[in-house]
Structure 1
Amino acid sequence: MQRSRGFRSKSRRKMTKVVREGRSNPITNKLQKFEEGDLVHITINPSIQKGQPHPRFHGKTGKITDKKGKAYIVSLTDGNKAKELIIRPDHLKLQTSQ
């Protein structure tokens, strides 16, 4: 029987949180607002599965292009190919310096 190669396979180190980090999911992460054209870092919060991008995009930086419901559409380049990801604000962090 073959092993499963699901969405979160080979992501044990990426998808772990620090033990006793404090409050695990502050409400301010959900309530973040971004403007069109903002640069954001994709940092996956493993305890929230909804609106989570694929682990290959963890640590990448993209630009907000649109809003879709509660989520944002982030465009970035993966190699030479332009991609658009639909990500909830729990997994995004605003880039402060440019």
Structure 2
Amino acid sequence: MVKRTHGYRYKSRKLLRKKPRERGMSGLSRLLYEYKPGDKVVIDIDPTYITTAPHRRYQGKVGVVVGTRGRAYVIETYLGDKKKIVITTADHLVPYQGGS
């Protein structure tokens, strides 16, 4: 038997896939949105851009923008009790619409 690999995109077939009506480039409003430090964002991985995508364990997590690094954003989020830093571009971020 060969040992099964557990790569970076392991078990993510459904997660990192677009529905037929979502195919193609995403809208400009999502890319042109400017985030400021302190803004809350939701990490929503766009499978079109693989190189800048965060790990799939952060999909759907709410975080706070801490700053920028080049054209990428530094997001502070929690994974259980641990505070984590995620660096990703605006392609994978959506403004948080929830309360406070």
Instruction: Output the TM-score relative to the length of structure 1.
Output: 0.89
Q: Once superposed, what is the RMSD of the aligned Cα atoms?
A: 1.6
Partner of 1:48: 49
**Contact between 1:8 and 1:55, CA under 8 Å: does it hold in 2?**
yes
Distance 2:24 2:39 in 1: 27
Partner of 2:17: 16
Q: What is the deviation of 1:77?
A: 1.0
SS class of match (2:29):
helix
Partner of 1:26: 27
Q: What is the deviation of 1:19?
A: 0.5
Partner of 1:61: 62
SS class of match (1:46):
coil
Q: What is the deviation of 1:22?
A: 6.1
SS class of match (1:20):
helix
Instruction: Output the TM-score relative to the length of structure 2.
Output: 0.87
Matched, 1:5 2:13: no
Partner of 2:84: 83
Partner of 1:72: 73
Count of residue correspondences: 98
Distance 1:2 1:28 in 2: 44
Q: Percent identity?
A: 33
**Contact between 1:50 and 1:88, CA under 8 Å: does it hold in 2?**
no
**Contact between 1:40 and 1:61, CA under 8 Å: does it hold in 2?**
yes
Distance 2:98 2:82 in 1: 25
**Contact between 1:42 and 1:93, CA under 8 Å: does it hold in 2?**
yes
